[in-house]
Amino acid sequence: MSFKRPSIIRPPSEWRSYYLLLTKGCSNNTCTFCAYYGSKLQIREIEDVKKEIDALALYMGHRIHLPTIPDIVYAIAQQWDGKRIFLQDGDALIYPYPKLKEALQYLNEKFPRVERIATYATPQDILRRSLNELKDLRGLKLGILYMGVESGDEELLQTVGKGVSYHQMVEAGRKARGAGITLSVTVILGLGGVKKSEVHSLETARIPSCLGPDRTCHTYYCSVEILERCD
């Protein structure tokens, strides 16, 4: 397989999932707080994806290793619970829709007992998809989208390069839920620093009431400059 695998980045709740790589990087790549900042999005060939699914099925059924398949595939398979698939990388929903649908159909064909497929999704990704497309993906077991909201403050969203407004994120979240897909959103505590801590907190507090996510997760922001001062 010619597509070089990136480091595994996934939500904590997906720790027993199998990580199936569709993309590398992020289509937005302008968020200044993110490890993907400035990275170039890469799309994996669908034939390559199918080869990995075939190799996984062969390993899970007969414990056969293929020499052309990277060792990481089998390392991930050893801890897989057999129930959940997480589509990598940070932006897998950007994968061309016909090929994304083909990949999910193939997964379901090879692993009919899989209960749920999940992925990260930017608000832009969700808005690009029609409601019918999202419903079709839901029918193929795409059961949860992890969307980074980060903040509810419009000015702060522009400052960090999020690329969408708060209202667009609300629209995207409601669209996903309208398709029957579970929505998990992440906000970043401390993103506004000391000066904007109050407005960041108050504006971000709108998210549960306006967006109505199924889950809300929190992560913490600490700049390199702060770490250096602490040292």
Domain 12-230: assigned CATH number: 3.80.30.20
How many residues in the chain?
231
DSSP code of 17? Answer: S
Q: What is the pLDDT along the chain (231 residues), one digit of tens a residue?
A: 456 777 788 888 899 999 999 998 887 777 877 766 667 888 999 999 999 999 999 999 999 999 999 999 999 999 999 999 999 988 899 999 999 999 999 999 999 999 999 999 999 999 999 999 999 999 999 999 999 888 888 899 888 888 899 889 899 999 999 999 999 988 888 888 888 888 888 888 887 777 766 666 655 444 433 333 333
Those residues whose C-beta lies under 8 Å from the C-beta of residue 119, and which sit 6 or more positions away, are 86, 87, 88, 92, 93, 142, 145, 146
Q: Where are the beta strands (DSSP E) in the chain?
A: 18-21, 23-24, 42-43, 84-88, 116-120, 142-150, 182-189, 215-220
**Residues near 216 by beta carbon (within 8 Å), at least 6 away in sequence:** 184, 185, 186, 187, 207, 208
**Residue-range domain boundaries for the chain:** 12-230
Which residues touch 7 (CB under 8 Å, ≥6 apart)?
Answer: none
The token pair at 214 is 């199924």
Put the strands of the sheet holding 18-21 in their side by side order: 18-21, 84-88, 116-120, 142-150, 182-189, 215-220
Q: How far apart are the C-alpha atoms of 100 and 97, rounded to whole Å?
A: 5
Secondary structure (3-state) at 131: helix
Distance CA 39, CA 84 (A): 28
